[in-house]
Chains A and B, each alone.
Chain A
Amino acid sequence: MTKQHANWSPYDNNGGSCVAIAGADYCVIAADTRMSTGYNILTRDYSKISQLTDKSVMASSGFQADVKALQKVLSARHLIYQHQHNKQMSCPAMAQLLSNTLYYKRFFPYYAFNVLGGLDNEGKGCVFTYDAVGSYERVGYSAQGSGSTLIMPFLDNQLKSPSPLLLPAKDAVTPLSETEAVDLVKTVFASATERDIYTGDKLEIVILNASGIRREYMDLRRD
């Protein structure tokens, strides 16, 4: 007598890909804007990027209902922090908060694949990459989501030096300039769109540096 399994799942996957690259004095965070379910497109214009503080930006793919809930929890916790400490959270502090928030729901996880990008206390770019239950690591670059398996090997190939592949672990930032990093992100998404059906429509790029925050958009294939 085999155990009866649920024919209803609380989760759904809305697809999409996210990427973040850390530079010496900037950080680039990008995600596509397609939201889908099964073989259907729900909308071509949904932002997966959320600005948590002045210096940290999170991009999340996966189940967008859980992502939205997670964003709300984080911004509420950040507001409390600001009231108690009279300052904004630093990016490494937000990274730890995100990890704890995810692990809090270890036995009914947020179906969210996150990548957190920003500037650390010294003004250098930092990227933190997460799994669904909060395991995280500071890296020089990362990709998450449906296109991550297509994107990550190319980033490894081009940004070799800041990756964990080289021992001993170097300074986790890429020597690329800001424009080169943005170019790389555009190419990588154009390529992922060709081969991943869940990635496409439009690319949203957020660039964080000492002068503030900047947003760029690029059209992707809509098929």
Chain B
Amino acid sequence: MSSSLDLPPKGGFSFDLCRRNAMLESKGLKAPTFLKTGTTIVGLVFQDGVILGADTRATEGPIVADKNCEKIHYMAPNIYCCGAGTAADTEAVTDMVSSQLQLHRYHTGRESRVVTALTLLKKHLFNYQGHVSAALVLGGVDVTGPHLHTIYPHGSTDTLPFATMGSGSLAAMSVFESKYKESLSRDEGIQLVVEAISAGIFNDLGSGSNVDVCVITKGHKDYLRNHLLPNPRTYVNPKGFTFPKKTEVLLTKITPLKEVEVVEGDAMEIA
């Protein structure tokens, strides 16, 4: 059985198994969970540029899979992107657009612009109709000035002076809405971002651990990994614990095999 023309796979998603998966789910099989980043991510525009912030917890359902993951992704020397949603999707889409931007820089001989990254990301996400579950906060400073955008999984974008995304976005936004003003200084901006992320860390169960901050200004960036560590382990047993060196032998029973009778069968047939 062979088809007349074997087309090469077109890439992207194959929806062939969707019907079978739906059938299995109706029979009671639980689909495997994705590693989501739970997450609180924020961005704000200040006097000299943009500041991005993120928490560092990655969850798999109710379990913390990574206590200190990196959610602020590099796009270009002057552009960074925070990602919420499915971890694999945010990683893949930011890596891909980062490479595309590098090629574009070689081609044009110019510094990348934030709107370029924005358009490349939204084109990709719209094309996948929301199946690529990545919610992003994109920020950077280029020749046209500082820019901050949010990008939703279905491909829509907003341009804002301050933005939050992720499960902790409401907690973080409550801080921004209360305290944000235009032309913040660098220190004020970092302080506000830290407060917003902390609100997410302590009030949202999907976010936690540490605060990462990234400050981007004209011609310079400061990636402050683990800028704040407000969650040390509360108790360490001073004496430590002992663990058995090997598996405990509970029972040993030796049964000698009796005489094994070999019966000649039919000769093996190889067609």
The interface of chain A, by Cβ under 8 A from chain B, is 2, 36, 38-41, 146, 157-158, 160, 166-167, 183-184, 186-187, 189-190, 193-198, 218-223
Q: List B contacts of A198 (CB < 8 A).
A: 62, 205
Asked whether any CB of chain A lies closer than 8 Å to the CB of B127, the reply is: no
> Nearest Cβ distance between residue A109 and chain B, in whole angstroms?
20
Contact status B202-A222, CB under 8 Å: yes
Please, how many angstroms separate the alpha-carbon atoms of A146 and B64 in the complex?
13
Contact status A194-B233, CB under 8 Å: yes
Please, how many angstroms separate the alpha-carbon atoms of A42 and B236 in the complex?
28
Contact status B233-A39, CB under 8 Å: no
Contact status A146-B205, CB under 8 Å: no
* B243 CB contact (under 8 Å) in A157, A167, A189, A223: A157
Of B140-148, B149-157, B206-214, the one touching chain A: B206-214
Asked whether any CB of chain A lies closer than 8 Å to the CB of B203, the reply is: yes
* Additional pairs, 19, CB under 8 Å, beyond known A38-B205, A160-B244, A223-B57: A36-B205, A39-B38, A39-B204, A39-B205, A157-B244, A167-B250, A183-B237, A186-B235, A189-B235, A190-B233, A190-B235, A190-B236, A194-B233, A195-B64, A197-B64, A218-B235, A223-B201, A223-B202, A223-B209
Question: Assuming A39-B204, A40-B205, A195-B63, is B250 touching A187 (CB within 8 A)?
Answer: no
Q: List A contacts of B202 (CB < 8 A).
A: 222-223
> Nearest Cβ distance between residue A202 and chain B, in whole angstroms?
10
Can you list 17 contacts pairing A with B, beta carbon distance less than 8 Å? A39-B206, A160-B248, A167-B250, A186-B237, A187-B235, A187-B241, A194-B67, A196-B64, A197-B59, A197-B63, A197-B208, A218-B235, A220-B234, A221-B233, A223-B208, A223-B209, A223-B231
Asked whether any CB of chain A lies closer than 8 Å to the CB of B10, the reply is: no
Please, how many angstroms separate the alpha-carbon atoms of A91 and B63 in the complex?
34
Q: In the complex, which residue of chain A has the Cβ closest to the Cβ of B251?
A: A167
Q: List A contacts of B243 (CB < 8 A).
A: 157
Q: List A contacts of B236 (CB < 8 A).
A: 187, 190
Asked whether any CB of chain A lies closer than 8 Å to the CB of B167, the reply is: yes
* A40 CB contact (under 8 Å) in B38, B57, B203: B203
Asked whether any CB of chain A lies closer than 8 Å to the CB of B20, the reply is: no
Within 8 A of A (CB), among B29-83: 38, 57, 59, 62-64, 67
* Most chain B C-beta atoms within 10 Å of own C-beta, residue among A39, A157, A193: A39
Contact status B234-A221, CB under 8 Å: yes
> Nearest Cβ distance between residue B85 and chain A, in whole angstroms?
14
Question: Assuming A167-B250, A223-B57, is B205 touching A197 (CB within 8 A)?
Answer: yes
**Size category of the binding interface on chain B:** 20 to 34
Asked whether any CB of chain A lies closer than 8 Å to the CB of B19, the reply is: no
Asked whether any CB of chain A lies closer than 8 Å to the CB of B239, the reply is: yes
Contact status B62-A197, CB under 8 Å: yes
Within 8 A of A (CB), among B129-182: 167
Please, how many angstroms separate the alpha-carbon atoms of A2 and B25 in the complex?
14
Please, how many angstroms separate the alpha-carbon atoms of A74 and B26 in the complex?
39
Q: List B contacts of A146 (CB < 8 A).
A: 62
Please, how many angstroms separate the alpha-carbon atoms of A36 and B203 in the complex?
10
Q: List B contacts of A186 (CB < 8 A).
A: 235, 237
Please, how many angstroms separate the alpha-carbon atoms of A39 and B26 in the complex?
26
> Nearest Cβ distance between residue B205 and chain A, in whole angstroms?
4
Q: In the complex, which residue of chain B has the Cβ closest to the Cβ of A158?
A: B241
Please, how many angstroms separate the alpha-carbon atoms of A220 and B235 in the complex?
8
Q: List A contacts of B208 (CB < 8 A).
A: 197, 221, 223
A-B pairs, top 9 by smallest CB distance, nearest first, are A223-B208, A190-B235, A197-B205, A187-B237, A39-B205, A186-B235, A195-B64, A223-B201, A223-B231
Please, how many angstroms separate the alpha-carbon atoms of A223 and B38 in the complex?
12
Q: List A contacts of B241 (CB < 8 A).
A: 158, 187
Please, how many angstroms separate the alpha-carbon atoms of A162 and B74 in the complex?
53
> Nearest Cβ distance between residue A169 and chain B, in whole angstroms?
13
Contact status A219-B234, CB under 8 Å: yes
